[in-house]
Amino acid sequence: MLKRMLIGLIRSQEHTGDKAKDPKLKSHYYRLSKDRAWDEIGSILKKMQGYKVLHEVPTIGEIVMEKRTVSGRTMDITVQIVSPTPGTSAVDIYSASRGSLGDLGANYRVIQEIYAVLDRKLAANRM
């Protein structure tokens, strides 16, 4: 936690991926076709409190959202859904805070919050 805040003093963005060093920032996989994952994840994200879906690009599997922080900053979040193999979907998240100062780990926490909600709602399909 302290390490994330120290990193957050200078960094104002965070992202997930298969090669992430932090295990909490690794891509999440679900046993769902890309179309079904797109429908389910899109529906879940639209219902999340404090987040606003700005636009969706189904052809490349991206959902762009924003979240306003208590301090009034805006965070831009992109959720990407890809299908590495038939019947499997991977979800990656990129979150960045607008402005020049660091985020004190807020983007890291946003990613954890989104993954926690997706994992809970899609528990039967988590890999």
Pairing between strand 28-30 and 51-57? Answer: unpaired
Domain 2-125: assigned CATH number: 3.30.310.220
**pTM for the structure as a whole:** 0.90
| pLDDT tens digit sequence for 82-123 | 999 999 999 999 999 987 677 777 899 999 999 999 999 999
Q: What are the sequence ranges of the domains in the chain?
A: 2-125
| CA dist., res. 62 & res. 78, Å (int) | 7
pLDDT band at 49 (very low <50, low <70, confident <90, very high): very high
